[in-house]
Structure 1
Amino acid sequence: MLDINHILVVLDNEHLKQHALDRALWLASALKADLTLLTATYEAYCDDQSSIDADTRLRIKEALINKSTAWIESFVEDTDVKVRTEVHWQKHLHDAVIESMRDQEYDLVIKGTHEHSLMDRIFTHTDWNLLRHCPAPVLLVKNNKPWQHNRVLASIDATSGDEGHILINDNILSYAEHLADHFDTDLHLANAYPLVSVAFAMVPEVTAPDDVQKYILEQHQEACADWANKFNINDDHVHIDEGDADDVIARFAKSLQADLVVVGTVGREGLAGVLLGNTAELLVDKVDCDVLVIKPDDGVKPDAD
């Protein structure tokens, strides 16, 4: 059995529907895991620098925490899953998650998500901070539809030879394999390769070698075959196409009617992260299914049995 024993569910009171909770309750029941529901509340006028007197600040803070506690505990009723709740005094939800994980080790973090604007990306939205900094795999839930098509799609960078990408590919496929085995679903592998002719078209003074695109495709086919063989993925479940990774994986996810896409991120920081984004972040807005994001440190633990 997949060793997911402790799940942290991030609830945002700005969301009208808590899709993350629906998915978390189902997963926890299937995996015999316990849940911790987390939210955050904060008001700047309760800070020490506020002009409001200390006693009033304290009473306001207590009232806000009590209100959030009542809200989050309203989700605990009528469930057989072991559930506890946490309310953190934090301005940002991702900071509350990091704070919680200093005291408790979680095997999976689940959060509801929605389409993100450019402004979300510029100001580093909660979701992006979780994907880049959360010390556990993050499952972003798009809707409350059940996983019904029995397909898990794992996206990897098959030909990358550096140690970091090899590790993250292994982690992605290990998690995807464990989930596929536990829920008896088909595991598919997807890989994108660059359209080199476009790059050469930008520098017309350089002539593209004959059959360069065919050579690149064959490299990716060979690398994907090796990964597929390692994780017992059928040949007809390996999907390769040219183009940007987020576009290619989104197309495969739609055509396969995948219930879940498992993808990696190396957490690009700074201006590059804002302007270019990460494949995982771009992909979240292009698929209709859940996205499980794995980082290099998110290794699969030994089975519980």
Structure 2
Amino acid sequence: MLDINHILVVLDPNDDDQHGLTRAAWLAHALDADITLLTHAWDSFGDKASQLADTTSTSIRDALIQRSQDWLDSYIDTEQLAELHVHTEVHWQKHLHDAAVESARATEFDLVVKSTHPHGIIDRIFSHCDWHLMRQCPAPVLMVKSANQWKHNRILACIDATSSDTGHNLINDNILSFAEHLADHFETDLHIANAYPMVAVALAMIPEVTPPDDIQKYVTEQHKEATQKWARKFNVHDDHTHLAEGDAEAVIPDLAQEIEADLIVVGTIGRDGLSGVLIGNTAEALLDKVGGDVLVIKPNDGVKPEVD
């Protein structure tokens, strides 16, 4: 049974709007979960490698940590956190994502929540905090686009229905398990989306290959059958099951807008390094293209079901 009892909220001190906290508080009230507020503090003068005397660098470090702690404490008595069990953590880390990953590895959080903003090419090249968090955090990560409440009662779960390897099957099962849990709790409609390739476009890049006339029909039927199998497993109606021809990052945003999805649940294999910059991850590409919140799931997140 999947439950969301412990929520970690990652707060960036440079953000003017903490809409991730607003969403996390709403979820915590609805799910009867506790909340941990986390931020980081760091300065080279307070670091152990500083050239300053140990007592001076320690004083700087203590002062910066206390300032961050006071900042977190200022949220505890606010109306949105009233009657919730709230904990706080300040980590001495240069990067916020390192602090969040460190905390998530030490504590079994069921969900990590963070505000997100549009990202540019520079963010991709230098691996923005959000990218690191989605790839490395050992828990599902909810990226919140705005403080607006979910109002259309629709969750869109995006899967790769025909993948047969264990990793993708685990991602699919975890995506749909989390989506189903949220849909059941909040009495929202659960939709499934499966994007599949346009074979003619792919084969056009290989002139020496002549594709059979009915190849696209065959591919479409394969994806339709595979998607319906997942839909039956999670009791999703046929009219809530969507096939989209094309790359996921190109077709899912239009579908999400069409059905007015409040939340898009998507998986990632957490590709790091140069390949992550050049090739990217679907979850990261979708994050800037959809209007709703994005919940990012990895193979080992949450439940670990037996794959059929």
User: So what's the TM-score if we normalise by structure 1?
Assistant: 0.96
State which drifts further: 191-200 or 179-188: 191-200
State which drifts further: 179-188 or 47-56: 47-56
What CA deviation, in whole Å up to 9, does each residue of 1:227-285 have, x standing for no partner?
11111101000111111111211111111110101111111122111111110111101
Tell me by how many angstroms 1:301 deviates: 7.7
State which drifts further: 111-120 or 32-41: 111-120
Q: Paired residue for 2:92, among 89, 94, 109?
A: 89
Tell me by how many angstroms 1:203 deviates: 2.1
Q: Paired residue for 1:194, among 164, 173, 197?
A: 197
Answer yes or no: is 1:137 the counterpart of 2:140.
yes
Matches within 5 A, 1:260-275: 260-275=263-278
SS of residue matched to 2:76: coil
Pair 204,288 (structure 1): closer, same or farther in 2 beyond 3 Å: same
Q: 1:224 is matched with which residue?
A: 227
Aligned partner of 1:188: which letter? H
Q: 1:16 is matched with which residue?
A: 16
Query: In structure 1, how many angstroms separate the alpha carbons of the residues matched to 2:89 and 2:266?
Result: 29
Pair 301,271 (structure 1): closer, same or farther in 2 beyond 3 Å: closer
Answer yes or no: is 1:176 the counterpart of 2:193.
no
Query: Do the aligned residues in 2 keep the contact of 1:40 with 1:92 (CA within 8 Å)?
Result: yes
Q: Paired residue for 2:152, among 149, 167, 172?
A: 149
Matches within 5 A, 1:53-132: 53-78=53-78, 79-132=82-135
Answer yes or no: is 1:281 the counterpart of 2:281.
no
Q: Paired residue for 1:298, among 289, 298, 301?
A: 301
Query: In structure 2, how many angstroms separate the alpha carbons of the residues matched to 1:59 and 1:188?
Result: 54
Aligned partner of 2:46: which letter? C
Query: Do the aligned residues in 1 keep the contact of 2:170 with 2:304 (CA within 8 Å)?
Result: no
Q: Paired residue for 1:258, among 244, 258, 261?
A: 261
Q: 1:50 is matched with which residue?
A: 50
Deviation above 6 Å: which 4+ runs of structure 1? none
Query: Do the aligned residues in 1 keep the contact of 2:28 with 2:84 (CA within 8 Å)?
Result: yes
Q: Paired residue for 1:158, among 156, 161, 164?
A: 161
Superposed CA RMSD: 1.4
Tell me by how many angstroms 1:183 deviates: 0.4
Aligned partner of 2:50: which letter? S
Query: Do the aligned residues in 2 keep the contact of 1:2 with 1:182 (CA within 8 Å)?
Result: no
Tell me by how many angstroms 1:208 deviates: 1.9
Identity of aligned residues (%): 63
Query: In structure 2, how many angstroms separate the alpha carbons of the residues matched to 1:15 and 1:50?
Result: 28
Identify unmatched segments of 5+ residues in structure 1: none
Tell me by how many angstroms 1:16 deviates: 0.7
Query: In structure 2, how many angstroms separate the alpha carbons of the residues matched to 1:2 and 1:267?
Result: 22
Tell me by how many angstroms 1:288 deviates: 1.1
Query: Do the aligned residues in 1 keep the contact of 2:174 with 2:304 (CA within 8 Å)?
Result: no
Query: In structure 1, how many angstroms separate the alpha carbons of the residues matched to 2:34 and 2:151?
Result: 23
State which drifts further: 91-100 or 281-290: 91-100
SS of residue matched to 1:74: helix
State which drifts further: 260-269 or 197-206: 197-206
SS of residue matched to 1:204: coil
SS of residue matched to 1:111: strand
State which drifts further: 35-44 or 212-221: 212-221
- For this pair of structures, how many residues does the alignment match? 302
Query: Do the aligned residues in 2 keep the contact of 1:37 with 1:72 (CA within 8 Å)?
Result: yes
Q: 1:7 is matched with which residue?
A: 7
Query: Do the aligned residues in 2 keep the contact of 1:109 with 1:137 (CA within 8 Å)?
Result: yes
Query: In structure 1, how many angstroms separate the alpha carbons of the residues matched to 2:105 and 2:176?
Result: 27
Tell me by how many angstroms 1:36 deviates: 0.3
Identify unmatched segments of 5+ residues in structure 2: none
SS of residue matched to 2:284: helix
